Amino acid sequence: MRTAALLLLGVFPALAGEVAVLANGFSIRVDRHESVGGKMVLYKAGGEIELPAGQVVRFEQEDVVESQAESQARMPVPQPLFEKPSARELVDRAAEKYGLPPALLSSVVKAESGFRAEAVSVKGAVGLMQLMPGTAAELNADPSDPEQNVEAGARYLRDLLVKYGYSSHRALAAYNAGPGAVDKYNGVPPYRETQQYVDRVVGEFLKTQMR
């Protein structure tokens, strides 16, 4: 009954047998043996074999067969696959690192790429924060890597805010059109694209503050 229960459970007991090496060169796997008079009795599952004692040269211990439960216990536990952080998680981390309001950085990313890491503009700006290759190189970042892209963009925006006395309008204008244009006009340059960009980002930021 015990053996049947183990089989039903899919758990097999460890079996240790022995190998009878015969004089003719053959070998037989047996569960156990017993010497009776001048004969050697070999016991196997389901029966027994009687041989003249002289026909058995020696017995060798058979390796223990590992149970299924033990085998499974030794198997390496599969590790969960590493999940890449989402775009919003990257934004929150970068905002915290560089002391920016997460909602402001999120508004910039939304305006720049719509949170798409694969976005590339006609001018060659790359990634979530649309970094130009030259700007990315100055920031020692790979713009095609989402994490490096967002972190570099956040650092660049923080530096622009510091440069322009924390004027969000000027910093955002410089992010879009370049510091040279903001310095030239001493404020948001009269470029329709830049003015619309600043209004869009500031509007999105204010909208999040009213939720």
Indicate the DSSP class of residue 58: E
Residues taking part in catalysis: 112
Could you confirm whether domain 2-74 is CATH 2.40.230? no
d(CA 144, CA 82): 20
**pLDDT, tens digit, for every residue of 15-31?**
457 888 877 777 778 88
Sheet holding 47-52, edge to edge: 32-36, 39-44, 47-52
Q: Is the pLDDT of residue 178 over 90?
A: yes
More confident residue, 78 or 193: 193
**26, 66, 105, 149, 205 from 195: Cα distances, Å:** 94, 74, 18, 24, 15
**pLDDT, tens digit, for every residue of 110-140?**
999 999 999 999 889 999 999 999 999 999 9
In this prediction, residue 15 carries a pLDDT of 45
Query: Hey, which bits of the chain come out as E strands?
Result: 18-22, 27-30, 32-36, 39-44, 47-52, 56-61
52: buried, middle or exposed (CB in 10 Å: 19+, 13-18, 0-12)?
exposed
Q: Is the pLDDT of residue 8 over 50?
A: no
Give the bridge partners for 41, in sequence order.
Answer: 34, 50
Q: Is the pLDDT of residue 1 over 50?
A: no
- In this prediction the pTM is 0.61
Contact by Cβ (8 Å): 12, 6: yes
Per-residue confidence band for 6, with pLDDT thresholds at 50, 70 and 90: very low
Report, as an integer, the average pLDDT of 162-173.
97
Tokens of 85: 């952080």
In the chain, the N- to C-terminal Cα span, in Å, equals 68
DSSP 3-state of 55: helix
Q: Which CATH number fits domain 87-209: 3.40.50.1360, 1.10.530.10, 2.30.42.10, 1.10.220.110?
A: 1.10.530.10
Domain limits of the chain?
2-74, 87-209
d(CA 130, CA 15): 66
**pLDDT, tens digit, for every residue of 49-93?**
777 888 888 888 866 544 455 555 556 656 555 678 999 999 999
Mean pLDDT of the residues in the chain: 84
